[in-house]
Amino acid sequence: MLKIDNIVVNYGNFEALHGISLEIGDGEIVALLGGNGAGKTTTINSVSGMTHVVSGDIIYNGQSIKDMPSFDRVKQGIIQVPEGRKLFPSMTVYENLLVGSYLPETRKHREENLEMCYEIFPKLKERRNQLAGSLSGGEQQMCAISRALMSCPKLLMLDEPSLGLAPVVVDMIFDTIVRINKLGVTILLVEQNVLATLDIANRGYVIEVGNNVMNGSAEELLNNDDMRKAYLGI
């Protein structure tokens, strides 16, 4: 479904990505792992069209999207849940969800998608008329994921969905990611919770300071000595 081919991204004179490559097959959960500042968010922002790719290419369903505007990528089903949720705090939960279905094609599925989101996250149905800014961290993450689901994603990219959440909520979020994947949505998951991520992922890529350093199946990465030392503290 997605092939990132040796992309280079600059922030001014600073080169943030030095030739990152990865591939995601249709229906997979693929993890993108690495420490703070490794380039994980820059990588998925490049797929979303939020950052300019200097060289290399991004292929989505056989088509180069490197120069495609971000709003056209959304029409193609490429949807991102950003780090920190980025909800509209002075709007209600319901209004935030409606924002996710603003495209004409997604409006056709608005009611069924709303019911799906409320079924996945019953708490949101209870809170649908509450301001998003007044929700707990876990509830805000539920709202952010649901807003993305309202956009009928084909490729869903989640950036640090467990950040700042209580362990019991983290478990629920990861269970939900698996459930969404079983609905036919391909997942690219950026996370620092390595154990939980590799527990649900098919494959993973590890990047450091803008470079690919390791990739393999989830089992291979969990059993890799360098991986265990650097990221699992074992």
Q: How far apart are the first and last CA of the chain?
A: 34
**Is there a contact between 222 and 198 (Cβ–Cβ < 8 Å)?**
yes
Mean pLDDT rounded to a whole number for the chain? 95
146-160: average pLDDT: 97
Q: Which of the four pLDDT bands, split at 50, 70 and 90, describes residue 234?
A: low
In order, the DSSP letters of 124-185 are HHHTTTSBGGGS-HHHHHHHHHHHHHTT--SEEEEESTTTT--HHHHHHHHHHHHHHHHTT-
Q: What tokens appear for 109 in the block?
A: 């599925």
> pLDDT tens digits, residue range 32-70?
999 889 999 999 999 999 999 999 999 999 999 999 999
pLDDT given for residue 197 in this prediction: 95
Q: What tokens appear for 104 in the block?
A: 């004409």
Q: Which of the four pLDDT bands, split at 50, 70 and 90, describes residue 230?
A: confident
**How many other C-beta atoms can be found within 10 angstroms of the C-beta atom of residue 63?**
9
Burial 66-97 (b: 16+ CB within 10 A, else e): bebeeeebbeebbbbbbbebebeeeebbbebb
Alpha-helix residue ranges (DSSP H) falling in the chain: 40-48, 70-75, 93-99, 104-107, 110-120, 122-126, 137-149, 167-182, 194-200, 218-222, 225-231
> pLDDT tens digits, residue range 171-209?
999 999 999 999 999 999 999 889 999 999 999 999 999
Q: Which of the four pLDDT bands, split at 50, 70 and 90, describes residue 233?
A: low
User: Residue 208 and residue 89: Cα distance in Å, rounded?
Assistant: 34
Strands 203-208 and 211-217: antiparallel
Q: Is the overall model pTM greater than 0.85, yes or no?
A: yes
CATH 3.40.50.300 fits 27-49+76-231, yes or no: yes
pLDDT given for residue 84 in this prediction: 82
pLDDT given for residue 85 in this prediction: 85
- With both helix axes pointing from N to C terminus, report the angle between 137-149 and 167-182 in degrees, rounded to the nearest 10: 10
Q: Where are the domains of the chain?
A: 27-49+76-231
- pLDDT of 116 > 90? The answer is yes
97-116: average pLDDT: 95
Q: Is 198 exposed, middle or buried (0-12, 13-18, 19+ CB in 10 A)?
A: buried
Q: Which residues have CB under 8 Å from 68's CB, separation 6+? A: 49, 76
Share of the chain above pLDDT 90, in %: 90
> pLDDT tens digits, residue range 78-97?
999 999 889 999 999 999 99
pLDDT given for residue 228 in this prediction: 85
- pLDDT of 16 > 80? The answer is yes
User: Residue 24 and residue 4: Cα distance in Å, rounded?
Assistant: 9
